[in-house]
Structure 1
Amino acid sequence: MGACLALSSLASCASCLCGSAPCLLSSCCPSTYNSTMTRLAFSFLLLLGTMVSVIMILPGMEEHLKKIPGFCLGGTSIPGIENHVNCDIIVGYKSVYRMCFAMACFFFIFTIIMIRVRSSKDPRAAIQNGFWFFKFLVLVGITVGAFFIPDGTFNTVWYYFGMVCSFIFIIIQLILLVDFAHSWNQSWVEKAEDGNTKCWFAALLSFTILHYALAFSAIVLFYVFYTQPDDCTEHKVFISLNLIFCIIVSIVAILPKVQETQPSSGLLQASLISLYTMYVTWSAMTNNPNRKCNPSLLSLVQGGGPTPTPPPGPALGTSTTIQWWDAQSIVGLMIFLFCTLYASIRSSNNAQVNKLMQTEEGHGLTADDASPGEDGVRRAVDNEEDGVTYSYSFFHFSLFLASLYIMMTLTNWYKPDSSEQEMQTTMPAVWVKIGSSWLGLAIYLWTLVAPLVLPDRDFS
C-alpha cells in the first residue's frame, strides 16, 4: 500500500512538473499568484544548484570518491576494470565553476527567450510559467555537458567573467535591501498610525539604533584588526571613505526637502544600507593578499593577532581545500539567500526601486480574490493577463548574475593560478567589492535626491 501511495505521489508531482505554476499548489496551501509561484520555482532551481556546489567543494570529497572502486583515476581499482573519471574535475573549485557555468547558461537562455514579454497571453509566457520537468532536464543536461569542458583557460576566463557579473549582482542586492527597508519602514509606520503608536515607533527606533551600532562596531574592529600603523593604507582609505559616505546618506535621508518628496524615507533604510556597506568593506579586505593586513578570523578569535606575512606568491588554497565557510562567505551566502527569496515574493510600491528592478507595483504573496475550484484544489491566479508584474528577462538576468556571485562566494573570490591546481587572492577582487559598495551608495543617494534634481518627473 505504501509503495502504491508513493508511486501515485510521484506521478502527481510529475504531472505538475510538466504543467504550469498553478499545479504547484495543494489544497493545504494558500492561494497565490502565478507570477509569484514562477519566481519561487526558478529560485528553487538556483538554490538547488547552490546546494550541489556546496557539497562539491566540501573538503575530503575527492578522497571519498577515490575510495569507490573503479571510479576515479588514481583511486582504488578493481582488477580488470579501469578507472575513467577525473575526480579532480567533479569536486573542488573546478566543479563549482562548471556547476555555476551551467546555471548561468540556463538562466541566460531564458533571459534571451523572454525579452519583451508583455503579458501572459504571449506564447512564451507558457514556457516561463510551465514545463518545469523539461526545464529541469535542460538544466541537468547543461550541467553534465559543462563537466566535459577541458581546463585550459576556462577557469581563468570564467573567474574574470564571474568577478564582473558579481559586481553587478552586489548592486542588485543593495537595491533589494533598500526596497526591503522601505517596505519594512512603511509597514511599521502604518501599524503605528493604526494602533499602538509608541510600541511600533519604539521598535523602528530600536532596529535603527541596532543597525548603526553594529556598523559602528564593525568600523572600530576594522581599524583595530585590518590596519597597521605603518601599513595597510588601502584599508584605512576604504574604511574612512565608507564611514564618511554612510554619514552623508544618513543625513540626506532625513533632510526636510527629502522628507517632503519621500515621507517614507528615513534612518531605518540608511542604517541598513550602512550595515551592508560595512559587510562589503569587510569582505573586500579579506581578499587582500597582504596577510599583515588580512588576519585570519581564527587568529582573531584565539587572540593571536594578525598572522605573519607569508613569502610572496604562495597559494592560499587548492581545488579541494578552499574553505568557503569563512565568516564573510557565510554572511554573503545568507544575504544571497534572503535577497533571492525576497526577489521572488516582493511587492513594492516604491516607484524608483520598481523602475530600477523593472517591476510594477503589484501583488503580494497571497491572492485574496482566489477561491478553490470545483475539485477543491487551490490554484495560482493568473494576474498577468493585462500585463506582466515583473520583467521576465530581467528576472532571469538577475538569476544569471546570482549564479556567478555564488561561484565567487564559494571560492572566496580566489583566482586560479597558471597551473590551475591552486588558488590565490588578488587585489582586483578587493577593488571590485569596494567599487560596488561605492556605486551602491551612489544609487541609494540618487533614489533620495532624484525628485529634487528632476522636479518635472513623476516619482510618486
Structure 2
Amino acid sequence: MFIFTGAFGWLWSLLASCAGYAACTVCTRASVQLTRTSARLTYCVLFTLSMISAWVLRDYSKPIMKHLPWIIDGHEHAAKEWFGVQAVYRISFGTWLFFAILSAALVGVRSRTDRRDQLLHHGNWALKAVAWALFNVLPFFLPNGLLGAYSWLARVGSGVFLLVQLVILLDFTCAWNTSWATKGDQKYLYGLLGVTVACYAGCLAIAGVLFAWFNPSGVDGGCGLNIALITVCLFLCAFVSAVSLHPAVRDGSLFPSAVVSLFIMYMCYSALASEPRDYACNGLGKEMSAAKGSTVAGGVLLTLLAVVYSALRAGSNTAAFFPGLDDDDVVAAEPSATELPAGARPLLDSPPEERALTSAGLDGEDDPEEGVRAAPARGGRRASTGSGGVKEDSGGVAYNYAFFHAIFALASMYIAMLMTGWGSADEESGLVDVGWASVWVKGATVLATAGLYTWSLVAPSLFPDRDFGLAQT
C-alpha cells in the first residue's frame, strides 16, 4: 500500500510538472505571438505602464527620492509636491527618450523587407522591454538642471500634441461627413441631420450646465472670467457654423461644424473643471473635493486612456499629416476589387475631391502581421502563402513607424504637463490636470480649434489651385 501510494504521488507530481511546463510553454508562445501580431497594442501597454508609474510616484515618491543626494541638493526642505513633480518629469523623460530613439531609428522604413521593421519595430521585445525599464529608471540618476530644461521642452511638445489632436478631429469629421453624404441613401442623410441637430442641442445643454455650475450665486465680485469663457465659446460655435454656410465656402457643411462646436463646448467645460478646487466660482470643485478616492482615480485613469487612444489614433493616421506622400513612401491597406461594393472604386484610385481621409488608420490600415494585409510596395509584387495570406516581406508598411513613435514621444510630454499642472509644483494631490495653467492651455486649444477649422473652410477658396485633401461635401 505504501509503495502504491508513493508511486501514485510520484506519478501525480510528474503529471503536474508536465502540465505546468505545457502551460508555461503555451503562455510563452502566446505572449510572443501577441507581441508580434499586436505591435501597436504592446507599445500602448508600455506607454500606459509608464504613465501609471508617473501618477503613483507623483504622490508617493518623497520617501524614496529624499535619500538621493543629487536630487535633494538645495531642496532638503522641499514640499511633497516638489518631489512629485520631479518624479513625473523623470518618468516622462525616460518614456520620451525611449520612443524618440525608436522614431529616429525607424525613419525611412517603407517596406516590410527593411531589416529595421523586424529588428526594431516588430521584433526583439525582450530587449525593448529591458530598454524601456532602463529608460524609466536611469533618469532618477540625472541632475535637476537637465530635467528643468526638459520641462520647457515638454511644454512645447505638449502644444504640438494638442495640435495633432485637432488635426485628427477635423480629419474625422470631414471623413464622416463625406462617407455618409456620398452613400446615395436617404437614411444616411437623415442620420447626418439627426446627428447635427443633436450636436447643436448638446452645445446649448452644456452651456446651460456651465452657467449653472461655474457661475454660482453669492460670489463676491461675480464670476466674470467664467461667464466670458462660456460666452466666447458660444460665439465661436455660431461663427464657425456661419462660415460653413457662407456662399464663398466651396465645401461647407453644418455637420462638421456641429461636431466641432460640440468639441469646443466640451473643451470649455474641461477648462472650467480644471480651475483650482478652492476657487469660489468652481461649483464643480466643491463636489470633486468631497468625491471618494475611487472616483478621482477613475477620472485619472480615463484621462490616461484618452491620451493613449489619441496617441495611437494619431500615430497610425499618416495620411492626415502627410497627404503629399507618394505611394512608395507609405503603402496603406487597400481592399481588393472583389471586396468593394458594386460600382465603387478603391480609395487611392479616386480623384482628389473624393479622397476623404480615413480616421487614423482604424478603418483597416494595419500591418500584415496584425491581421490585415497591406498593398505591395511600388515596384514590388504580392506573394501569397499557402493559406491565401500574404507573406510578411511582400509589401510596404501600413503606416509610418517613425511618425507613430514620435506621437507617443509627444504624448509622454503631454502627460507630464497634465500631471504637474503644466509645470506648477503646487498641483493638488490625487488630481490630474487641475490648475490655472491647464485652464489657459485649454482656452488656447479652443481658439486653435476654431481657427484651424475656419482655415480648412476658407483655404480652398483662397487658394483654389491647391488640394488641401479635405472634402466635406
TM-score by length of 2: 0.66
Q: CA deviation at 1:291?
A: 0.5
Query: Does residue 339 of the first structure (1) align with residue 310 of the second (2)?
Result: yes
Match among 129, 132, 139 for residue 132 of structure 2: 139
**Residue equivalent to 2:358:** none
Equivalent in the alignment of 1:202: 190
Task: Tell me the secondary structure at the aligned position of residue 229 of structure 2.
Answer: helix
Question: C-alpha distance in 1, partners of 2:255/2:147?
Answer: 41
Mapped to 2, the partners of 1:361 and 1:268 lie a distance apart of 30
Letter matched to residue 20 of structure 2: A
- Deviations along 1:104-130, whole A, 9 cap, x unmatched? 111121233233444445544442343
Pairs within 5 Å for 1:55-454: 56=57, 94-126=86-118, 127-149=120-142, 152=144, 158-191=150-183, 193-194=184-185, 197-198=186-187, 200-227=188-215, 230-258=221-249, 260=250, 262=251, 266-289=253-276, 291-299=279-287, 325=297, 332-343=303-314, 346=317, 354-355=322-323, 362-363=332-333, 364-365=364-365, 367=372, 373-374=385-386, 385=396, 390-411=399-420, 413=422, 415-417=424-426, 427-454=436-463
SS of corresponding position for 2:90: helix
Judge which range, 243-252 or 7-16, deviates more. Answer: 7-16
- Structure-2 separation of matches of 1:149 and 1:15: 34
Uncovered stretches (5+) of structure 1, i.e. residues with no partner: 25-36, 75-87, 303-320
1:207 positional shift: 2.4
CA distance in 2, matches of 1:55, 1:213: 39
Q: Report the Cα distance in structure 1 between the residues aligned to 2:302 and 2:204, rounded to whole angstroms.
A: 18
> Structure 1 residues 435, 367: CA separation in 2 closer, same or farther (over 3 Å shift)?
same
Q: Measure the CA separation in 1 of the matches of 2:168 and 2:152.
A: 25
SS in 2 for 1:415: coil
Residues 43/332 of structure 1: CA separation in 2 closer, same or farther (3 Å cut) = same
Residue of structure 2 equivalent to 1:82: none
Amino acid at match of 1:180: F
Aligned-pair CA distance for 1:239: 2.3
- Whole-Å Cα distance in 2 between the matches of residues 92 and 323 of structure 1? 21
Shift of 1:415: 1.4
Between the two structures, name the one with larger relative contact order (CA 8 Å, sep ≥ 6): 1
Give ranges in structure 2 of 5+ residues lacking alignment. Answer: 1-17, 68-79, 334-363, 366-370, 375-381
Distance 1:368 1:254, change over 3 A: farther
Asked if structure 1 preserves the Cα contact closer than 8 Å seen for 2:422 and 2:437, the reply is no
Mapping 1:37-52, distance limit 5 Å: 38-52=39-53
The Cα shift of 1:133 comes to 2.7
Q: How many residues align?
A: 387
Identity rate of aligned residues, in percent? 26
Secondary structure of residue in 2 paired with 1:292:
coil
* Greater Cα radius of gyration, structure 1 or 2: 2
Which residue of 1, 20, 25 maps to 1:3?
A: 20
Shift of 1:286: 3.5
- Mapped to 2, the partners of 1:427 and 1:354 lie a distance apart of 35
SS in 2 for 1:130: coil
Check conservation: 1:322, 1:411, Cα contact below 8 A: no
Superposed CA deviations along residues 313-360 of structure 1, whole A, max 9, x for unmatched, are xxxxxxxx9996485x56644532442343355586xxx655499996
